[in-house]
Structure 1
Amino acid sequence: MTPIQSKYTELLDNIGSTIEIARQNAVRAVNTELVKANWEIGRHIVEFEQHGQERAEYGSNLLSTLSKDLKQRYGKGFGRRNILDIRRFYLTYQKWQAVPAKLSWTHMVTLLGVSDDTARKFYEKQTVLENWGYRELDRQINSSVFERLALSKDKKGVLQLAEKGHLITHSTEAIKDPYILDFLQLPQSHQVTEKALEQKIIDNLQMFLLELGKGFAFVGPQRYNFRTLL
């Protein structure tokens, strides 16, 4: 490669990086605006209901009627299920300042499935700390990671989990009890050999590291595979 070609490749890479960053920022901005808009829509719905107009004019069919009219005006995205989620969203976060920053609308809908306020606050914090996508957030909720961590803590420790997430200050705090490895899809009809288990873990390495949480790194097979970074 000639010096000119090398410089051109560098130029191309720099432009590519700029484009990717701009696209990522645009997606984040769109997500923020969508979450904000849905919060405002939820506020309008709840305030309408609280003023008694829902009972007087629409009865219990408000959300269905609203869904139909919004779809006619603005197209997809306003199904009754979504309108219900928007309403629940506002009822759960009645102050905009309480809405966790950096999370998408899909994250928020997933969090609405957690009825316990303390647990939900934990998942909010942990999603940001661990940079969980909504699918990983859903998996962690279904695997009861908060409940597993809370088992080893007193009331003060549980509240700390909700306020700050799972912050590891000692290697023993990196261990969950138990680990949920359902994504390995191990057969239940017979015992699994150590070699087969190791291969399953390597085949699903990303999911396994996510389940281990912060503080672990993959070193390599047969060297002990995982170690804490603390």
Structure 2
Amino acid sequence: MNQIIIHQQFIQDIKTIVNSARGNAYRAINTTMVAAYWHIGQRIVEEEQNGQHRAEYGKYILKELSNALNNEFGKGFDERELSRMRQFYLTFPIRDSLRPELTWTHYRTLIRVENEQAYFYC
């Protein structure tokens, strides 16, 4: 009977290790992708500021960038999502203020908030 209990505990320990590693990997990937989206937004804004006719040029940038990225990486880089990345950078211009606990979904929600005082609580 003791062997069965020890064996089950051994299996449970391994499951705990795997689940912990998966959680750590998910958090690391999320933090890395949120940073990547911030940098993409930064580059879009920088490129727009170099354009002569900003509104038209901005739309052109997003369309062309979307086409290029979707061809290379598949879905996830449509014009709307690139626009969100741009807004993400404009809303949170200080990269070090980003919170690793927050996912891209959280930030997508936050960038729609119009009350700047609400960002204090992030």
TM-score, length basis structure 2: 0.90
Equivalent residue number for residue 20 of structure 2:
21
- Structure 2: give runs of 5+ residues left out of the alignment: none
Equivalent residue number for residue 74 of structure 1:
73
Q: Secondary structure at the match of 2:15?
A: helix
Q: CA RMSD in A?
A: 1.8
- Asked if structure 2 preserves the Cα contact closer than 8 Å seen for 1:43 and 1:87, the reply is yes
C-alpha change, 1:36 and 1:53, in structure 2 (3 Å) is farther
Q: Tell me whether 1:39 sits opposite 2:49 in the alignment.
A: no
Mark the structure with the bigger radius of gyration.
1
- Distance, in Å, in 2 between the alignment partners of 1:39 and 1:20 is 29
| Runs of 4+ deviating beyond 6 Å | none
- Structure 1: give runs of 5+ residues left out of the alignment: 125-230
The structure with higher relative contact order (CA 8 Å, sep 6+) is: 2
- Asked if structure 1 preserves the Cα contact closer than 8 Å seen for 2:31 and 2:103, the reply is yes
Task: Name the count of aligned residue pairs.
Answer: 121
- Asked if structure 1 preserves the Cα contact closer than 8 Å seen for 2:62 and 2:79, the reply is yes
- Distance, in Å, in 1 between the alignment partners of 2:82 and 2:24 is 27
Q: CA deviation at 1:52?
A: 2.2
Percent identity, aligned pairs only, is 39
C-alpha change, 1:37 and 1:43, in structure 2 (3 Å) is same
Q: CA deviation at 1:61?
A: 2.2
- Asked if structure 1 preserves the Cα contact closer than 8 Å seen for 2:87 and 2:111, the reply is yes
Equivalent residue number for residue 113 of structure 2:
114
- Distance, in Å, in 2 between the alignment partners of 1:14 and 1:96 is 38
Q: CA deviation at 1:58?
A: 4.2
Q: CA deviation at 1:120?
A: 2.9
- Asked if structure 2 preserves the Cα contact closer than 8 Å seen for 1:67 and 1:83, the reply is yes
The CA deviation string for residues 25-55 of structure 1, in whole angstroms up to 9 with x for no partner, is: 1110010001000011111111111122675
- Asked if structure 1 preserves the Cα contact closer than 8 Å seen for 2:88 and 2:111, the reply is yes
Q: Which has the higher helix share?
A: 2
The CA deviation string for residues 74-113 of structure 1, in whole angstroms up to 9 with x for no partner, is: 1111011100100000011111112223111111101111
C-alpha change, 1:88 and 1:3, in structure 2 (3 Å) is same
- Distance, in Å, in 1 between the alignment partners of 2:26 and 2:58 is 38
**Aligned residue type for 2:95:** W
